[in-house]
Chain A
Amino acid sequence: MNLVTFTALWLSTNSSQIGTYSRPEIISYYIFATLLWWIVGWHCFWQVREAIRDGTISTKALIKPSSYYWQMFFSELGWHTIGIPIGLLTSTLLIYMLRDYVAIPSFIDNFFPLILALVLSTLLIFSLNLVLALFTFWFTETQSFPHFIWAGLTFLGGQGIPISFIPGIWHTLVIYMPFRYMASFPLEILFGQIHSSEIVGGFIIGIIWLAIFSLAYRLLWREGTKAYSAYGG
């Protein structure tokens, strides 16, 4: 829906240049943002939350000699083998239907950084989903928690509006927040909006956030399993 709404919004302005994007580029931006979400979007929060609430996490994780993090990651990865082709097909159809209005960016020059950025986005979104889900060890009702991710991605991560449109000091703040690296960062590389030094700087900040989320996961998992008591399972 973001794709339709925001594309219509920008087209209705009759501007040929919108910020740092041309009109065809801004339409392409939302198509690729939609494709990006098919590739890197994760929803393990609900699965983990339900496993903790109904006690099945005892058999799924607590008694198994493997990392729950990687167990969930590869479990979710299976869904992406379906999601990615669907996303590619949808995006291809959209590009074909809007072929007079879009500008496909050349990503040959930035192919390697783009792939790395997609891997970073995947790990960041997955890690944050998992970290938030682990709060279910303490709070029985955590349905509101994913909204922080969705709102962050929409308004601070570039899914709603490109973060290059955010002015002044707010733009600087957004650069240092994790949401940019979950959605906007790969798109900025794809559209050539940032250069080599900024790409390197972005990876450093993204990896720092990944380390923070990983540490948070370890801490929450350790403390959560100590506090956890299950019925049934």
Chain B
Amino acid sequence: MRYLRLIICLMRYHFLRILEFRTEVVSWWIVNLMWPILALLSTNIIFGQVNSVAGWTKNEVLLVVCLQEIFIGVIWIFAIPSLIDFAKLIPKGDFDQLLLKPVNLRFLITFNKFEFDQYPRIFIMAYITSKILMGFGVVNMINIILGVVIFFIGVILFYNLYFIISTTTFWFTKLHNLEDFFADIMNFGRYPVYIFNNGLRFLLTYVIPAAFMSTFPAQAFLGRLNILYLILGIFVCVVSFIFSQWFWNFALKRYSSASS
């Protein structure tokens, strides 16, 4: 409960902060609606030239695109902004202040910042996703639950990966381009991973969880997901979280402050 109250407190703080920069919020709302709409339009244009992509039809690919955009929205609510901020704390010498706080440090690093400009993207893409799914007519409650579960498995996997790489800031003090790097990584999830050859598909399934971002949730919603991927996802979630925590503790023990 204490940590939940902290999250609410931090959300309220950041909400009040963004009210000071209303123009910025509006411009980000426009940007965060522009990207998904253009992605959907370009998918329509692609299917003006071809009938299918790696055996996926137009509506199936549109479903993947929508889920990828929702994924980007969700991961940008707090995880990525917080970890981007963390990557800047150590070079600036502000990390020491967090060490003194009486809360779990990883919790503080992860929920340090909240962005409210992704909500229009999430809501509109969720609406379009529901319309596409209704068009298929094969969706039932089990598929929906499965799809949501595997979607959030993708969120956790991506967060763990980003957290592990952000932890290397303790050694490589300037990691300011992580944001661009992960934005490009997320682009791999825009279309079904089956468009890639076996090697790249392996990488995007088992190393960089792009498949869990949108392809597997789409398959789950459509009732076509191999249950082994769900089991694999849960397993990798647990293992990656344990590893990320171990790596975090390993890095903290070797941290030496420049200021205190």
Contacts and interface: CB of A to CB of B under 8 A. Distances in A.
Interface stretch (A9-17, A76-84, A88-96, A182-190): A9-17
Contacts of A167: 45, 48
Interface string A5-32: 1001101110100110000000000000
A160 B42 contact: yes
Given A1-B188, A155-B41, A167-B48, A144 B195 contact: no
A139 B24 contact: yes
B42 A155 contact: yes
A145 interface: yes
Contacts of A11: 195
A216 B200 CA distance: 45
A9 B41 contact: no
Given A18-B50, A155-B38, A147 B195 contact: no
Given A154-B38, A155-B41, A13 B50 contact: yes
A8 B187 contact: no
Contacts of A4: 188, 196, 200
Nearest to A141: B24
A139 B52 CA distance: 45
Contacts of B188: 1, 4-5
A151 interface: yes
A25 to B, nearest CB: 13
A166 interface: yes
B34 A165 contact: no
A144 B30 CA distance: 9
A141 B34 contact: no
Contact of B53 (A1, A12, A143): A12
B46 interface: yes
B42 A161 contact: yes
A1 to B, nearest CB: 4
A12 B31 contact: no
B52 to A, nearest CB: 7
B49 A165 contact: yes
Contact of B27 (A1, A145, A154, A160): A145
B136 interface: no
A144 B38 contact: no
B248 interface: no
Interface in B40-71: 41-42, 45-46, 48-50, 52-54
B38 A13 contact: no
A151 B27 contact: no
A2 interface: yes
Most buried by B among A12, A19, A143, A145: A12
A1 B27 CA distance: 26
A166 B42 CA distance: 8
A231 interface: no
B31 A165 contact: no
A9 B45 CA distance: 13
A175 to B, nearest CB: 15
Nearest to B30: A144
A148 interface: yes
Contacts of A160: 42
Contact of B195 (A1, A2, A8, A141): A8
A15 B39 CA distance: 22
Nearest to A17: B49
Interface in A154-191: 154-155, 160-161, 165-167
14 contacts: A4-B196, A5-B191, A5-B195, A8-B191, A8-B197, A15-B49, A15-B50, A18-B49, A141-B24, A145-B27, A148-B34, A154-B42, A161-B46, A166-B45
Ranked 4 nearest A-B pairs via Cβ = A141-B24, A12-B54, A12-B195, A1-B184
Interface of B: 21, 23-24, 27-28, 30-31, 34-35, 38-39, 41-42, 45-46, 48-50, 52-54, 184-185, 187-188, 190-191, 194-197, 200
